[in-house]
Amino acid sequence: MGDGLRLNMNALDYLILALYFVTVLGVGFAARRAIRTSVDFFLSGRSLPAWVTGLAFVSANLGALEIIGMAANGAQYGIMTVHYYWIGAVPAMVFLGIVMMPFYYGSKVRSVPEYLRLRFNRPTHLLNAISFAVAQVLIAGVNLYALALIMQLLLGWPLWVAIVIGAFIVLVYITIGGLSGAIYNEVLQFFVIIAGLVPITVLGLVKVGGVSGLMDAVRGSKLGEAGLHAWQGTGSTDNPLGAHWLGIVFGLGFVLSFGYWTTNFAEVQRALSARNMSAARRTPIIAAYPKLLIPVVTVIPGLIALITVKGLGAESGDLVYNNAIPLLMRDLLPNGVLGIAVTGLVASFMAGMAANVSGFNTVFTYDIWQAYFKRDRSDEYYVRVGRIATVVAVLIGIGTAFIAAGFSNIMNYIQALFSVFNAPLFGTFIIGMFWKRMSALAGFWSLLSGTVVALGTYLLYRAGVIDFNSDLEESFWGAGLAFVTVAVVAAIVTPLTRPKGADELTGLVYGLSDTTLKDDSLAGDAAWYRSPVLLGVIAVVLAALFYIPVF
Partner 1 sequence: MADDADRYQHGEAHDPLVDETEDAREARSAAARLFDIRRVIGGLFVVYGLIVGLMGLFDSSAEIDKAQGVRINLWAGLAMLVFGLLMLLWQRLRPTEPPEPHTADER
The binding track of 207-226 with respect to partner 1, each residue x by CB under 8 A or -, is x-------------------
Tell me the C-alpha distance between 176 and 169, whole Å: 11
Q: Which is nearer to partner 1, 83 or 500 (CB)?
A: 500
Q: Is 503 in the site for partner 1 (CB under 8 A)?
A: yes
Are 368 and 117 within 8 A, CB to CB? no
Are 35 and 321 within 8 A, CB to CB? no
Q: Which is nearer to partner 1, 202 or 534 (CB)?
A: 202
Q: Is 188 in the site for partner 1 (CB under 8 A)?
A: yes
Q: Is 12 in the site for partner 1 (CB under 8 A)?
A: yes
Q: Is 339 in the site for partner 1 (CB under 8 A)?
A: yes
- Sole window of 33-41, 259-267, 286-294, 407-415 interacting with partner 1 (rule: CB under 8 A): 33-41
Main-chain dihedrals φ then ψ at residue 310, nearest 5 degrees: -70, 130
Q: Which is nearer to partner 1, 310 or 464 (CB)?
A: 310
- Sole window of 180-188, 225-233, 264-272, 311-319 interacting with partner 1 (rule: CB under 8 A): 180-188
Q: Is 45 in the site for partner 1 (CB under 8 A)?
A: yes
User: Which member of 1, 6, 18, 36 binds partner 1 (CB under 8 A)?
Assistant: 36
Q: How far is CA 8 from CA 5, 14, 151, 447, in A?
A: 9, 11, 13, 51
- Sole window of 166-174, 197-205, 416-424, 482-490 interacting with partner 1 (rule: CB under 8 A): 197-205
Chain positions 405 to 464 lying near partner 1, rule: CB under 8 A, are none
Contacts of residue 320, Cβ cutoff 8 Å, sequence gap at least 6: 72, 313, 314
- For every residue of 465-521, which 3-state class applies, written as one string? CCCCCCHHHHHHHHHHHHHHHHHHHHHHHHHHCCCCCHHHHCCCCCCCCCCCCCCCC
Q: Is 275 in the site for partner 1 (CB under 8 A)?
A: yes
- Sole window of 91-99, 148-156, 193-201, 355-363 interacting with partner 1 (rule: CB under 8 A): 193-201
User: Which member of 5, 7, 25, 39 binds partner 1 (CB under 8 A)?
Assistant: 39
Q: How far is CA 382 from the centre of its chain?
A: 26
Q: How far is CA 384 from CA 25, 64, 378, 462, in A?
A: 20, 29, 10, 42
User: Which member of 373, 496, 519, 528 binds partner 1 (CB under 8 A)?
Assistant: 519
User: Which member of 44, 390, 422, 439 binds partner 1 (CB under 8 A)?
Assistant: 44
* CA angle, 102 then 502 then 440, to 5°: 85
Q: Which is nearer to partner 1, 6 or 36 (CB)?
A: 36
User: Which member of 373, 514, 527, 548 binds partner 1 (CB under 8 A)?
Assistant: 514
Q: Is 506 in the site for partner 1 (CB under 8 A)?
A: yes
Contacts of residue 501, Cβ cutoff 8 Å, sequence gap at least 6: none
Main-chain dihedrals φ then ψ at residue 292, nearest 5 degrees: -60, -35
The nearest distance, CB 204 to partner 1, in angstroms, is 9
Are 312 and 24 within 8 A, CB to CB? no
Q: Is 277 in the site for partner 1 (CB under 8 A)?
A: no
- Sole window of 165-173, 185-193, 244-252, 346-354 interacting with partner 1 (rule: CB under 8 A): 185-193
Are 382 and 366 within 8 A, CB to CB? yes
Q: Is 282 in the site for partner 1 (CB under 8 A)?
A: no
Q: Is 9 in the site for partner 1 (CB under 8 A)?
A: no
Q: Is 507 in the site for partner 1 (CB under 8 A)?
A: yes
User: Which member of 121, 232, 237, 335 binds partner 1 (CB under 8 A)?
Assistant: 335
Q: Please state, as a whole number, how many other Cβ atoms lie within 10 Å of the Cβ of residue 176.
A: 18
The nearest distance, CB 469 to partner 1, in angstroms, is 39
Contacts of residue 267, Cβ cutoff 8 Å, sequence gap at least 6: 57, 60, 61, 260, 261, 284, 355
Tell me the C-alpha distance between 491 and 252, whole Å: 25
Q: Which is nearer to partner 1, 518 or 548 (CB)?
A: 518
Q: Is 120 in the site for partner 1 (CB under 8 A)?
A: no
The nearest distance, CB 268 to partner 1, in angstroms, is 16
Q: Which is nearer to partner 1, 72 or 340 (CB)?
A: 340
The nearest distance, CB 516 to partner 1, in angstroms, is 7
The nearest distance, CB 97 to partner 1, in angstroms, is 20
Q: Is 328 in the site for partner 1 (CB under 8 A)?
A: no
User: Which member of 5, 7, 27, 169 binds partner 1 (CB under 8 A)?
Assistant: 27
* CA angle, 167 then 169 then 172, to 5°: 105
Nearest CA-CA partner of 172 in 304, 354, 313: 354
Q: Is 60 in the site for partner 1 (CB under 8 A)?
A: no
User: Which member of 508, 539, 543, 550 binds partner 1 (CB under 8 A)?
Assistant: 508
- For every residue of 22-78, which 3-state class applies, written as one string? HHHHHHHHHHHHHCCCHHHHHHHHHCECHHHHHHHHHHHHCCHHHHHHHHHHHHHHH
Nearest CA-CA partner of 274 in 44, 523, 58, 544: 44
Count CA atoms closer than 13 A to 550's CA, side-chain side.
Answer: 24
User: Which member of 78, 80, 90, 110 binds partner 1 (CB under 8 A)?
Assistant: 110
Nearest CA-CA partner of 397 in 140, 64, 145: 140
Are 482 and 453 within 8 A, CB to CB? yes
End-to-end C-alpha distance for the chain, whole angstroms: 39
- Sole window of 334-342, 354-362, 396-404, 434-442 interacting with partner 1 (rule: CB under 8 A): 334-342
Are 123 and 444 within 8 A, CB to CB? yes
Q: Is 15 in the site for partner 1 (CB under 8 A)?
A: yes
Chain positions 355 to 394 lying near partner 1, rule: CB under 8 A, are 366, 370-371, 375, 379, 382
- Sole window of 133-141, 336-344, 401-409, 434-442 interacting with partner 1 (rule: CB under 8 A): 336-344
Q: Is 129 in the site for partner 1 (CB under 8 A)?
A: no
User: Which member of 156, 158, 235, 336 binds partner 1 (CB under 8 A)?
Assistant: 336
